[in-house]
Amino acid sequence: MKLDDIDIRILEKLQENAMITAKELASEFALTTTPIYERIKKLQQSGIIKQYVALLDADLIGKSITVFINITIKDHHSEKRNEFVKRMEKLKEVVEFYHTSGSFDFLAKVRFSNIQEFRNFLVNELSSIHNISDIESQIVLEEIKYSTKIILDKTGL
C-alpha cells in the first residue's frame, strides 16, 4: 500500500492516541469523517495498523522489574530452533522476543514484581529449555526513554 501525506499524519496521530476519533482527525485535517474513516479502514486491512492496545504503567500494576535476557542456543537446525522459539513464546513473562545478530542469538524482555520472581523464572522456566547454551541478563535500573512510536517518513515508503 502506498502511503500519502494524510495517511502518514493519520498514523502519527493514532500512534500518539489510538482513541482519537475519525471526527477529531477530520476536524484537524480539514476533511470530512468519511474519507478519514475509509483511510483508517484501509490501513487496518493492509496490516499497517496491526492492533490497538492500552499501554499500562508497569510500576502502578506491580511489574516494575524489567530484565533483558540475551540467549544463545546450542542447536541452530530449524527443528530445534523452532522448538526453542515456541517454548519461549509460551512464557507469559516474556513481553518481547527477538532473533538477533551478534554474540547472542535471541533477546527477551521480561517483567516481574520482584527479584525473587525473576530468580524463579530463571531457575524453573528458562533453565528447563534444553537447547539453551548461554544466558546473560541485564536488570533495568532506570527506564530513560520508552516509546512504541515508529517514525514515519516518505523515504521509507
Per-residue pLDDT of 97-137, as tens digits, reads 999 999 999 999 999 999 999 999 999 999 999 999 999 99
The confidence score (pLDDT) of residue 16 equals 96
Tell me the per-residue pLDDT of 61-90, one tens digit each, with 9 for 90 and over.
999 999 999 999 999 999 999 999 999 999
Distance CA 95, CA 75 (A): 24
Looking at 14-53, which runs of residues are DSSP E strands? none
Compute the distance between CA of residue 154 and CA of residue 146 in angstroms, rounded to an integer.
24
Does CATH number 3.10.20.30 belong to domain 65-139?
A: no
Name the DSSP class of 155.
Answer: G
Handedness of CA 151, 46, 85, 77 (dihedral sign): negative
CA distances from 137 to 39, 70, 118 (A): 43, 6, 10
Domain segments of the chain: what residues? 5-54, 65-139
Q: Write the class of the CATH domain 5-54.
A: mainly alpha
* Residue pair 111/63 in contact by the 8 Å Cβ criterion: yes
Residue 154 in this model has a pLDDT that exceeds 90: no
Fold match between domain 5-54 and domain 65-139: no
Q: Return mean pLDDT, the chain.
A: 96
* Residue 156 pLDDT: 58
- This prediction has a pTM of 0.88
